[in-house]
Amino acid sequence: MPLRDLLLGLLVIAIWSLNIIVIKVGVAELPPLLMTTLRFILVAALLVPFYPVARAQLPFLVLLSITFGSLHFALLFIGLGQAEAGTGALLVQMGTPFATLLAVVFLKEKLGLKRLAGLLLSFAGVVVLAGGPTLPSPIPLTILLLSAFGWAVSQLLIKRGPPIAPLALAGWVALFAVPQVAVGSWLFEHNQWQAITQASWLGWGAVAYTAIMSSIVAYGIWYALLRRHPVNRVVPMTLLTPVCAVGLGALLMGDPMGFHKLVGGGLVVAGVALIVLNVGKQRPTRA
């Protein structure tokens, strides 16, 4: 891979790693579902007018907005409001093992020894993380694992669904997810208008970053790299995302680097590595 493309890939990893920290900052000022709604509104406004889709593709996009928009993103924002940034980044990586299991069950893909070992290592890592002090209750663990499961289901749908340009998919999924998440915020959250009027530049900057930098800029660069290079040369770089997120959490948020996080996180990353390095045709989509 040329140096320019390698640096672009590392830039994407840095954007995605920092995105976890930014979400933590944002949900400290804005209720999670409200922030997710604002993020989707911004993504849809910036992409939908420029990426039209066929009417026949709309039912698929509505379905994907439920699994990817509401189940993955909304629960990710809620979970990160209750868990440390680094721990959240590690747990979200469980989307890859979940996607592997779903592919085996529904697509009849072969598992193989490497991928089986990767699954066992990943789930062992979650067990270790769950026993550590970074997750004071099972609620954040469950929410973030459900978010990872939503990502996995979405990847399965994308793999079997109609071909849609990545940024068109991101924009229309965001558009259809807006009313879903907005209703959730109306039902389960309070003082939304007060939060909007009192949010500082950090809160609004977090909304802009997650929409523009993470979902549009990084997403666009990533798929350009996938078009220019074999997937096996690009996808393994995603393994740096949780590692960088854990480091940024410790550096910027003061998250502790305890035994459970180091060992559990190492097992999760090692397990995902075994799965990803053995799968050459999957194109993951990140937050």
Residue range 99-113: mean pLDDT, rounded: 84
pLDDT higher at 23 or 239: 23
pLDDT higher at 167 or 84: 167
Contact 41/268 with Cβ under 8 angstroms?
no
Q: Does some domain include residue 190?
A: yes
Residue range 142-146: mean pLDDT, rounded: 92
Q: Does some domain include residue 153?
A: yes
- The pLDDT assigned to 284 comes to 47
- The pLDDT assigned to 185 comes to 96
Most confident segment among 93-107, 170-184, 210-224: 170-184
Domain around 141: 3-276
Q: Per-residue pLDDT tens for 195-223?
A: 999 999 999 999 999 999 999 999 889 88
Q: Does some domain include residue 100?
A: yes
**pLDDT exceeds cutoff 80 at 247:** yes
Tokens representing residue 195 in the block: 């939060």
Number of domains in the chain: 1
**pLDDT exceeds cutoff 50 at 283:** no
From 1-10, 26-35, 159-168, 255-264, the region with the lowest mean pLDDT: 255-264
pLDDT higher at 285 or 147: 147
- The pLDDT assigned to 273 comes to 86
**pLDDT exceeds cutoff 60 at 237:** yes
Q: Smallest Cα–Cα separation from 118: which of 270, 264, 226, 255?
A: 270
Q: Does some domain include residue 120?
A: yes
pLDDT higher at 260 or 158: 158
> What's 124-164 look like in SS3?
HHHHHHHCCCCCCCHHHHHHHHHHHHHHHHHHHHHHHCCCC
Q: Does some domain include residue 283?
A: no
pLDDT higher at 9 or 232: 9
- The pLDDT assigned to 232 comes to 66
Q: Per-residue pLDDT tens for 51-82?
A: 999 999 999 999 999 999 999 999 999 999 88
Tokens representing residue 218 in the block: 């990084």
Report CA dihedral (195, 74, 285, 246) to the nearest 10 degrees: 70
Q: Provide the residue type at 239 as one letter.
A: L
Contact 259/132 with Cβ under 8 angstroms?
yes
